Amino acid sequence: MLSKEEVLKVFEETGGVLHGHFRLTSGRHSDTYMQCAKLFIDTDASAKLCGALAEKLEGINADMVISPAIGGILMGYEMARQLHLPNIFAERENGEMTIRRGFSFEKGTRFIVVEDVVTTGGSVKEVVKLVQDMGGIVEAVASIVDRSNGKVDFGVKFVNLISMDVVSYEESECPICKEGKIELVKPGSRTFKK
């Protein structure tokens, strides 16, 4: 089992921890961003972290792995490989999470929903609801990083490698915006309505 320090070291070594002024997927602002896309450039490092997360899922009876696109696709694939399960992903179409590309599953299929970094869990909650609405069963949610520090609730078992309380702000309360010295960057894949 990897310690929090060992996980953070892998992130630092792969350039997966960014410092600056970021708009998170949730729309909140933060001075720290966990960029798992950088982590997945290094196949050995990402396999190491996903392997450690797969160990924590031991005993979860699942038939398939699903992740939200785009950020969760690489992790979903690696987690499915580590768990020896089939893998699909959900993606947005007209603003709603959906299953496309010929993916399908039977009612009663048991899932592990995976996402690289969870802050508010919005995308994961959408995938959980989608699976349930289609007759699937969500056995667990898994992420490498829980930025909510244990505050997010998916209504199912939630497993992560590290739990952190990275401070984030509503845009109107962001001290970095008020200071006006660092440009706001949106490194994630999701677009926002103003």
Report, as an integer, the average pLDDT of 158-181. Answer: 90
Tens digits of per-residue pLDDT, 84-96?
A: 999 999 999 998 9
Q: Kindly indicate the confidence band of residue 188, based on its pLDDT and cuts at 50, 70 and 90.
A: low
CA 22, 162, 41, 71 dihedral sign is: negative
User: What is the pLDDT, as a whole number, of residue 71?
Assistant: 83
Mean pLDDT (the chain, rounded): 90
Q: Out of 24-38, 97-111, 151-165, 179-193, pick the least confident.
A: 179-193
Give Cβ neighbours of residue 129 (< 8 Å, ≥ 6 apart): 97
Tokens 């160990």, residue located: 55
pLDDT tens-digit series, residues 22-68 = 988 778 899 988 888 888 999 999 999 999 999 999 999 999 999 99
Q: Are residues 124 and 154 in contact, defined by beta-carbon separation less than 8 angstroms? A: yes
What ranges make up the beta strands (E) of the chain? 17-23, 29-34, 64-68, 87-93, 96-98, 110-118, 137-146, 157-163, 168-169
Mean pLDDT of 173-180: 93
Of the chain, the percentage scoring pLDDT greater than 70 comes to 96
